[in-house]
Amino acid sequence: MTNLQSHLVMKSKFLVVIAGLFISTHVVAQLPKFEYSRQISGVNEPWHSLRIPDDMYAHINRNFSDIRIAGLMANGDTVEVPYLVKERLDRQSKKELDVEITNRYKKPNFYYYEFRAKSNEPVNQVVLDVVSTNFNWLITLEGSSDKKRWHTIIKEHRIIGIEEHGFSYKYAKLSFDTVRYTYFRVKIPAFITPRLNGIKLYHMVKEKGKRNHPVIDSLHIENRKEKQETIIDVRLKEAVPLAYLRVQVLDSIDFYRPIEIRYALDSFRRDSVWHYKYRSLYTGTLSSLDTTGFRFPNRVVKYLHLNIRHYDNAPLSIKGIALHGFHYDLVARFDKPANYYLYYGNPKARMPSYDIGRFTASIPKSPPLVKLAPPVKITSQETDTETLRIANYWLWAIMLVAIGVLGWFSFNMLKNE
């Protein structure tokens, strides 16, 4: 092989290598195929929280796998920011106190159960373990420090147990303002001896989380007499996290009705009509005794379907529903000065894995919030302008090096001819 042929072969191989570098560099420079980007402002320390806006949930995966935070540094380098997803739920601690039943006795039309707390700690909840299956009592709870003077804590509080037609419901909980007594007494009006297996004392402490306030876009209530049920369909303005729902009933009567709450998991269009696939969110009892509402795991929801069974009873008069959920925050570590952006919207994106998930003890409890600009739609042909600019710098640098190396080879080959 002549020197000229060798030169041509080496030149061809070198061009192949350069082309490969050109292509790989160009691919790396492209942004992942996310649908939206939002600029982040207010980054001035390593740890920050970023609250996911309500209008973002409809465009991200249910497991948040398609969220990325990236920054562009002054020298042209890009950096990916590690983060964790945090639910800002209510935090509730529940301490059970040691207690023993010390006395049981009967007076005309009443049964009394006395019990003693083994420590003088605050109490704000009593739960009665009633063995009886069917009962309906208006009980009174009293407290004392010396068993001589008794003070009323709750008067004529209804507890109930029902078991019929395969339906079982029991409510025997008393919640009240915090008190400190050593002795407690329950007064039960009953004609037969109540079967009380035990009593539990609790001190409940609740720390409120960061709640959202979903806007109801439409509410449709239908009483289906032939099916003995009431259907409530709810559409929210935005798909947002939901963790609590309370049915606002106008009736002042006592009632208990089975209820199921479902949410739309998916939808499809057929014959110009939208159909929804629902999944159960909560199953329980709507009762006049417990008006605190229903709690369930935080879930991103837009459509709700409620089914209330009233059997042979008249349908309840329902005013509407009250609901809330809890915000999700991204807790992120910003290591370097840069212009930061949030990217999201890719159904095929995998869940990222960052080291900070294994060192949560070093994360501040309440890092300051940063701000998000309005979303920018990214079309399939678009790439980030600044990223492309940096990519072009690299491509030009590679091409200049390639031209220099080829020129050196050519000069040496001609000199040797």
CA dihedral of 355, 358, 363, 368, whole degrees rounded to 10: 60
Ramachandran bin of 264, using left for φ above 0, alpha for ψ from -120 to 50, beta for the remaining angles: beta
Domain 92-207 fold: Jelly Rolls (2.60.120)
CA distance 389 to 368: 32
Residues 184/198, Cβ–Cβ less than 8 Å: no
CA distance 143 to 151: 5
Name the nearest CA neighbour of 330 among 50, 58, 39, 36.
50
For residue 344, what pLDDT is reported? 96
CA distance 302 to 62: 13
Here the tokens at position 29 are 């420079």
Phi, psi values for residue 159, rounded to 5°? -125, 150
For residue 271, what pLDDT is reported? 67
Give the residues of the chain that fall short of pLDDT 70: 1-32, 267-269, 271-272, 274, 380-417
Cα 149 to chain center, whole Å? 48
CA distance 181 to 119: 9
CA distance 112 to 380: 74
CATH assignment, 216-326: 2.60.120.260
pLDDT digits (tens, 9 = 90+) for 269-279: 676 676 788 99
CA distance 308 to 285: 9
| Helix or strand (DSSP H, E) at 37 | strand 36-41
CA distance 273 to 382: 34
CA dihedral of 7, 8, 14, 20, whole degrees rounded to 10: -170
Name the nearest CA neighbour of 399 among 407, 387, 389.
407
